[in-house]
Chains A and B, each alone.
Chain A
Amino acid sequence: MKAKEIIKKIFYALGSYQLALILIGFVLCLLFISIAIPQKGFFTLSEISLWEKENPGIGFIANLLDFYNIFQSYLFLSIVALLAVNILLCTIIKIIPLQNILKLKGSQRIRVYGFITVHISLLVLLTATFISSGYKMTGSLVLTENQSFIDEEKNYQYLAKGALRKKEHSGIMIRQKKIDSYYQEGKYHVRTDSYFEIIDKNNVATRAISKINDPYVFDDYAFTIIEVGYSPEIMIYDTVNQRQMANAFVALKTSNISNYRSYSDYLDLDFLKKRLNISVMPAHKEENGKIIKTGENIVNPIMFVEIEDNKGSRKKLGYIKLGEKIKIGSYDLYFMNLRRWNSFTIIDDPGYVLAAWALYIFVIGLMIRYFPDIKSWYKVENS
């Protein structure tokens, strides 16, 4: 067999529908595996290692094939790459020779145009995905009202960067201003407006508002609000040595169960040798000796403090109002202030625009591909 014929055979095999079906089948299998095996983005490493201990056999294979991070595994990427080659070649096979398409009439020609549009859009989508995974930057930070932050990659709480990204995000400062959260009937969260300033080279470059579902974009970086909550300012004072041991705003975690929001977290402070659990209510009332939350806006905040020893047993220390203190051994804990915080995800994704276009074209391509069929189904049945 001549080399040319072999190349031709490989070309047609790589662009064949049989291969497309096999690859779709493989992708489906890997997607099922991603559901069965805990993935790194959604489970913590300790949860994954616990799962691995419970399933040693599968855990070993999963580790070997990088199935805990399946969408970045070589196996998945190779199959997607092969699928891209398949789509490219089958599109070329469909187009070349061009005269064949030009010979087609009416609905046949429209179907082929639809087929080509769908497959080209898939190629564009795969390219966009490649650009996104290679060049995207995702960072996250938590900002409390009136807090300034040097917006640099090294300062982020979490940072994920594509392997091919060279550009460093640095040099600007964010000054968090007011955060307004609106609630209906005192409990239904309906809106959050976060006001902040971006300071570029010592000048206020822009005054921005970011909202949930409406990120603010500055120099290709989208500032997306993910969560909002409360930050009490806590000061701890050593009454023996007359020293201030801590003074900071602590961004408490927000839990939301059936529209009841609670704001709490724990602090591991070395000098206390105990864990400090704190929670706040921005507005409250006292009823029959009980403290009841009355709303989500800061009206008359109150903080609940308890300590937890190494064995996990908890001791309630009580409630303190703003400006009051509570005793923890030889220390005094003051509740100084209460402000709102919001967490931002800061993303620069150069692949997004291409992906968005690919999605639009994909849908249009599908409509073109099936338009003659839908039209004929209607006509045939009516006749």
Chain B
Amino acid sequence: MKYTEVILFWFMVFSYVASFIFQLFGFIKKKENLKKYTSYSLYIAFLLHTAVGIFHWILSGHSPVTDTFELNLTGTWFTILIYLIFDKMGKIEKPVGLVVIPVTFLLLGYGYLHGINIKPIGPAYDSPWLAVHVIFAWIAFGCYAIGTGYAVFVVLKQKNPENERYKKMSNIEILDESSYRYIVIGFINHAIMIASGSLWAKKLWGNYWLWDPLETWSLISFLFYAFYLHARSFLNWKLRRASYLALLGIFIMIISYWGVGLFGPTPHPGP
């Protein structure tokens, strides 16, 4: 059974890589016909992703949100889901996928390196808050990732306004506004993630806030985005400044999610 899951997993990764390659070539060579291949391969990858998730869920007997592999699997699933929903609604610039898709397969690879373990849910995770905490954490990350994708193109387009590749995209103000919108949605989800984690921590550890390294990093990233929203509203930091803030923000988010262990021990397992 696990063997089947591994095969499905690798087909999924290859489909994501194929989608990225189609999109990259389409973008560089300005070939419109590659768009449909990008979409097809992305949909196939997402279907395989869903299959791997369901398969893992059935094998382990619990939602895939407990160890590093499961968290990365679920998280990237939500990121792609958000991307596809907004893409279907026509509310996303296609090249943003050039940022989102590589992030997805890199995270999947990172999760895979930690091993696919089929094991029952531990008592610490046996809580209704787990799903709320993890799902909103990943929706937040997905939105921030897409927002950062837009921010990357704001910076690129501002540096090379005459470049043909960027001319096809919306104007820079719209890209910037889109980045802001995704970050706002990410921020709301981030707040739900912190609140639910806090309520769960009270049940599990007896304290709603322990100032452990992961909580501190989570608060840092939340306050950073609060700073971004305030700076945008009150100081009118838009376009390049806002985009650099968004880039720094995702860097802090990546540390919060994957880098906390590098700074010392934490009782709080992250992805």
Contact = CB atoms under 8 A, between A and B. Distances in A.
Interface of A: 17-18, 20-21, 24-25, 27-28, 31-32, 34-35, 38-39, 41-43, 71, 129, 132, 138, 184-185, 188-192, 211-215, 222, 224, 226, 259, 345-347, 349, 352, 355-356, 359-360, 362-363, 366-367, 370, 373-374, 377, 381
B51 interface: no
Given A21-B227, A35-B263, A355 B208 contact: yes
Interface in B179-227: 181, 184-185, 187-188, 191-192, 194-195, 198-199, 202-213, 216-217, 219-220, 223-224, 226-227
A362 B211 contact: no
B87 interface: no
B160 interface: no
A195 B227 CA distance: 48
A356 B207 CA distance: 12
B199 A359 contact: yes
Contacts of B264: 38, 42-43
A347 B210 CA distance: 13
Nearest to A41: B211
A191 B123 contact: yes
A259 to B, nearest CB: 7
Nearest to B190: A366
Contacts of B127: 213
B230 interface: yes
A191 B126 CA distance: 9
B217 to A, nearest CB: 7
A356 B199 contact: yes
B268 to A, nearest CB: 11
A35 B223 CA distance: 15
Contacts of B181: 373-374, 377
A353 to B, nearest CB: 10
Contact of B216 (A18, A31, A377): A31
Nearest to B90: A381
Interface stretch (B94-102, B103-111, B114-122, B148-156): B114-122
A191 B223 CA distance: 36
Contacts of A32: 220
Contacts of A28: 220, 223-224, 227
Contacts of A18: 234
A215 B199 contact: no
A298 to B, nearest CB: 19
27 contacts: A17-B233, A21-B234, A28-B227, A31-B216, A41-B210, A41-B211, A129-B209, A132-B208, A190-B122, A191-B123, A212-B126, A213-B204, A214-B203, A222-B206, A224-B205, A347-B206, A347-B207, A349-B207, A355-B208, A356-B199, A360-B195, A362-B191, A363-B195, A367-B188, A370-B185, A370-B188, A377-B181
Given A24-B227, A24-B230, A28-B227, A212 B207 contact: no
B223 A212 contact: no
A39 B235 CA distance: 35
Interface string B228-260: 001101110000000000000000000000000
B58 interface: no
A168 B208 CA distance: 22
B265 interface: yes
A190 B184 contact: no
A254 B205 CA distance: 17
The 4 closest A-B pairs by CB, nearest first: A212-B123, A224-B206, A359-B195, A17-B234
A214 B126 CA distance: 10
B98 to A, nearest CB: 22
B91 interface: yes
B230 A213 contact: no
B124 interface: yes
A362 B191 CA distance: 8
B188 A366 contact: yes
Interface string B35-73: 000000000000000000000000000000000000000
B123 A190 contact: yes
Given A35-B263, A42-B265, A366 B230 contact: no
Contacts of B206: 138, 215, 222, 224, 226, 345-347, 349
Given A42-B265, A352-B202, A360-B195, A188 B207 contact: no
Contacts of A132: 208
Given A31-B219, A42-B264, A226 B123 contact: no
B204 A212 contact: yes
B122 A42 contact: no
A24 B199 contact: no
A34 B213 CA distance: 9
Contacts of B213: 35, 42
A356 to B, nearest CB: 6
Nearest to B121: A190
B184 A71 contact: no
Contacts of B122: 188-190
Given A31-B216, A360-B195, 4 more contacts: A21-B227, A31-B219, A189-B122, A346-B206
A259 B119 contact: yes
B188 A20 contact: no
A381 B207 CA distance: 44
A274 B154 CA distance: 69
Contact of A213 (B124, B185, B208, B265): B124
Contacts of A346: 206
A213 B233 CA distance: 41
Contact of B230 (A17, A184, A185, A370): A17
B119 A366 contact: no
